[in-house]
Structure 1
Amino acid sequence: MSTLVTRDDRNGLAILTLNRPDKLNALTVGMFRELRAHAIALKKDDSIGCVVLRGAGRCFSAGHDLGDIAEGEAVPSPGWHSETLRLLETLPKPVIAAVHGHCYTGALEVALAADFIIAAESAKFGDTHAKWALTPIWGMSQRLPRRVGIATAKRLMFTAELIGAAEAFRIGLAEQVVPDAGFDAAIDAMAQQVLANSAFSHAANKRLLEATDSRDMDSGLQWEILRNEGVGPDMKARIAAFMRKE
């Protein structure tokens, strides 16, 4: 039986791949079950310093499998999909969504649970909930406006417009756009930049940014001071290595 979400570890980098290429990686309960298991395992895996989430074949994912919706999904519990993406989002290590081809609706909700998105020039994004008389339940209403601003989120949600990679970059949905031919190299280069820095700092910074998101400036500054996690166990070694280069 095929694995619906594969994991490939490469020297501190874990690559999770949505693996239903014959169905354009349309998202099912089975896929989410495997994604959830990977997220739980990665939280405890100190050998991994960065996670990349991508899709096999022609695209990242065409979105929630409409056949599953029509037939009625056997969801383990209310909010289970959203909880799964929250597990991914709160991993104590950076998560990069690498998007090529389709990334629509449920797939966009999955990508938004990553810390940021790298897009191939072929990438197309959209929220089509309204096209099918659906409403978000995996986090779109919360993550999309935080990423692009509420007015732009409303435009995308109300029109169900599909946008290309250049527009996604312009509105702040994607952090980087690269040619399809150099997509793999760009993903690896970004991951290596992340891995070169302190895992302690990454985990602490993610917790800090999460805790102070949308706070007023003064309370955010107080949180940064009072909840400061200090320095990591690798600080002295890193500074010593830098001094030896001077």
Structure 2
Amino acid sequence: MSDLVLREDRDGLAVLTLNRPDKLNALNVELFAALEAHVAALEGETDHIGLVVVRGAGRCFSAGHDLGDIATGEKLPRRNFQADIIERLAGLPQPVISAVHGHCYTGALELALAGDLIFAAEGAKFGDTHARWALTPVWGLSQRLPRRVGTYKAREMMFTCRTYSGQEALAMGLANFCVPDEAFEVELEALARQILANSWFSHRANKRLVTRTDGLPLAAGLAHEVYRGEGVGPDMADRIAAFTSKSR
């Protein structure tokens, strides 16, 4: 498998690392092909992988879509290649954390938005620069960004092409967490362990529930939860018994 995306598994956690540090992890076709292979494998590994983290090697998450590729004319394996892979990453059964340090611009922001959670370093730099290059989003930003930050904040980001810090991303709801740069690794691992300690069954079921009811009227969403929810997980009895035993 290509080393443009590295995978490391640690006790239920799969870490996917974008690995073009000499190019600031700029997103080219070959990197997306490597990412797709890992995502395809993870889709069927719910028994031993409960959480996925996507991050970048070296100085940043990613500087965005490789402009050199755009300039020379990308040769895609199929139509909507990158958008399909980002959607597939977003649709993984497991929760996905996008762990962002350094640059996260435009196409990289579209990739990060596939995460259920965005974990940011204070020194992270988020931005949408499509308009700077006379481009428009085709990897999901126009839909995912407003759902995170609200339509008018999304318009601000898209129209100004300005850069936002990790703290600004947290304040606007783009990031769920923001930590000092020097605490990034420790705090990311702590968050991962906190999530993994809870029921993987519940994580997968809750993710499906939230995804499938997104945009529904309240009554329809409530009906879906009540009548189509997945109920009790196979680990419920053991978890309650362990709690009861500890309480005694």
Superposition deviation, residue 2 in structure 1: 6.5
Paired letter, 1:144: L
Number of aligned positions between the proteins: 246
1:75 and 1:210 map into 2 onto residues whose CA distance is: 29
Superposition map of 1:123-142 within 5 A = 123-142=124-143
SS in 2 for 1:32: helix
Alignment check: 8 A CA contact 2:169 2:175 kept: yes
Match in the other structure for 2:98? 97
Could you report, residue by residue, the CA deviation over 1:209-239 in whole angstroms, capped at 9, with x for unpaired residues? Answer: 0011111111110110111111111110111
Indicate the residue corresponding to 1:156 in structure 2: 157
Asked whether 1:38 is paired with 2:64, we answer: no
Tell me the distance in 1 between the aligned counterparts of 2:246 and 2:164: 46
Percent identity between matched residues is 61
In structure 2, how many angstroms separate the alpha carbons of the residues matched to 1:210 and 1:178?
Answer: 27
2:110 maps to 109
Partner residue in 2 for 1:4: 4
Q: Secondary structure at the match of 1:137?
A: coil
What amino acid sits opposite 2:164 in the alignment?
A: I
1:193 is matched by which residue type in structure 2?
Q
Which amino acid counterpart does residue 18 of structure 1 have in structure 2?
L
Mapped contact 2:4–2:19 kept (Cα < 8 A): yes
| Amino acid in structure 2 at the alignment position of 1:98 | A
Deviations 1:167-208 (A, max 9, x none): 101100001110111100111011001100111101100100
Question: Is the CA contact 2:2–2:34 (under 8 Å) kept in the aligned structure 1?
Answer: no
* TM-score between both structures, scaled by the size of structure 1: 0.98
Q: 1:143: which partner in 2?
A: 144
Specify the alignment match of 1:61 in structure 2. 62
Displacement over 4 Å in runs of 4+:
none
Which structure 1 segments of 5+ residues have no match? none
**Residue 146 of structure 2 aligns to a residue in which SS?**
helix
Could you say what the CA RMSD is over the residues aligned between the two structures, in angstroms?
1.0
Give me the whole-angstrom Cα distance separating, in 2, the residues matched to 1:67 and 1:113: 24
Summarize deviations over 1:118-146 as a string: whole Å, max 9, x none. Answer: 10011000000000000100000010000
Letter in 2 for 1:37: A
Structure 1 residue 77: Cα displacement: 1.5
1:213 aligns with 2:214: yes
- Within 1, Cα distance between the matches of 2:246 and 2:209? 31
Residue aligned with 1:143, SS: helix
Q: Distance in 2 between matches of 1:35 and 1:2?
A: 9
Q: Partners of 1:123 and 1:108 in 2: how far apart?
A: 11
CA contact (8 A) 2:124 2:165 kept: yes
Does the aligned pair in 1 maintain the 2:13–2:51 contact within 8 Å? yes
The answer for unaligned runs of 5 or more in structure 2 is none
AA in 2 matched with 1:111: A
Q: TM-score, normalised by structure 2?
A: 0.98
CA distance, structure 2, for counterparts of residue 84 and residue 143 of structure 1: 15
Q: What is the match of residue 16 of structure 1?
A: 16
| Partner Cα distance (1:185, 1:214) in 2 | 36
Distance in 2 between residues matched to 1:163 and 1:122, nearest whole Å: 10
Q: Structure 1: how far apart are the matches of 2:40 and 2:201? A: 19
Task: Find out whether 1:172 has 2:173 as its counterpart.
Answer: yes
Q: Secondary structure of the residue that 1:190 maps to in structure 2? A: helix
